[in-house]
Chain A
Amino acid sequence: MFQRMLASALFAGGVAGLLAALLHFAFVQDLILLGEKYETGELTHFAAPAQDGHDHAPAPTAGADAGAAPDDGHADDGHSHGTGSDLTRNGLTVLFTVLVYVSYAMLLAAGFGLAESMGRRIDLKVGVLWGISGFAAFQLAPAMGLAPELPGSIAADLGDRQVWWWGTALATATALGLLCYGRSLLTAGLAVVLLAAPHVIGAPLPEGYWGQAPTEVGTLYSARTLGTGLAVWAALGGALAWFWTRGKAA
């Protein structure tokens, strides 16, 4: 059982990770680099060309923004972005994307193993539903409190956010498992409580908002990370089910 879970997770996570990296470079990476230009002060967006703010004029291009970088106290916060040349940075992104999706695949494979031991059948359709549920637990629900961070945006204390993130992801995953496989009103009720609790408690928020990156880039960034995440998670669930069912036949 363990060998089958591990093999399926490695294959499916590898395939999904490569797809995720492809979509990352197609939709997301440019926005990260743009956000970093605002974060470092290379660009600022408060010096847009004069307009009355209501004429729906075309938005200024990022490159046209001008003005002195605000003294935002951000230059010395000690974090850096990626490492080395573009090739190294992007290569490491591919490597870690595969690693992250292998970790997601391992959790889904554990779920497949548990479901099958309870007599539930895993097929391609069920696998895709598992993938979408994984997306809801590990990306969508945490994003409802902690939106995917564009570099140059402001957030609360890192430790507090990590605690809330883990709590939300695990509570949502448990709740979806109970909803899909539970057989009583009690499990359904418990699932609803687990789904709601993180959002009733609330994610840690910053004391104020003074992010350097434009809201427009941040919202596009959040939408794209969630959109690509949904696509890859669904593919991951399907691929895992494909390897899983072949593992059984073998």
Chain B
Amino acid sequence: MTTLSSAKVTSALLPVLFMTVLGLSVMFVAGHAQSATLHDAAHDIRHATGFPCH
């Protein structure tokens, strides 16, 4: 039982990790990257979600 659930967790780890990295990357680009174009485009929602903006 323990071996079975450990194997299940291990096989889930890679997609979970990949999804986490993808989510954090999208959040970084939309909310934190400081390129002028991105900043201007996302300005209002960066303020509204509490991301440090400028």
Contacts and interface: CB of A to CB of B under 8 A. Distances in A.
A binds B: yes
Given A110-B19, A117-B9, A142-B50, A104 B45 contact: no
B50 A143 contact: yes
Contact of B43 (A5, A81, A99, A158): A81
A103 B8 CA distance: 25
Interface in A100-120: 100, 102-107, 109-110, 113-114, 116-119
Contacts of B51: 165
B52 to A, nearest CB: 4
A158 B44 contact: no
Given A2-B15, A113-B16, A100 B9 contact: no
B3 interface: no
Which of B17, B19, B20, B26 has the most C-beta atoms of chain A within 10 angstroms of its own C-beta? B19
What is the interface residue range for chain A against chain B? 35 or more
A5 B53 contact: no
A225 interface: yes
Contacts of B50: 139, 142-143, 146-149, 225-226, 229
A99 B26 contact: yes
A5 B22 CA distance: 11
The dominant DSSP class at the A interface is: helix
A24 B30 contact: no
A96 B42 contact: yes
A250 interface: no
A104 B23 contact: yes
B19 A162 contact: no
A60 B32 CA distance: 36
A106 B26 contact: yes
Interface centre among B17, B39, B45 (most CB of A within 10 A): B45
B21 to A, nearest CB: 9
| Most chain A beta-carbon contacts within 10 A, residue among B41, B50, B51, B54 | B50
A11 to B, nearest CB: 15
B30 A96 contact: yes
Given A96-B30, A102-B26, 15 more contacts: A1-B12, A2-B18, A24-B44, A29-B44, A80-B43, A93-B42, A96-B41, A107-B20, A109-B23, A113-B19, A117-B12, A117-B16, A118-B5, A226-B50, A228-B48
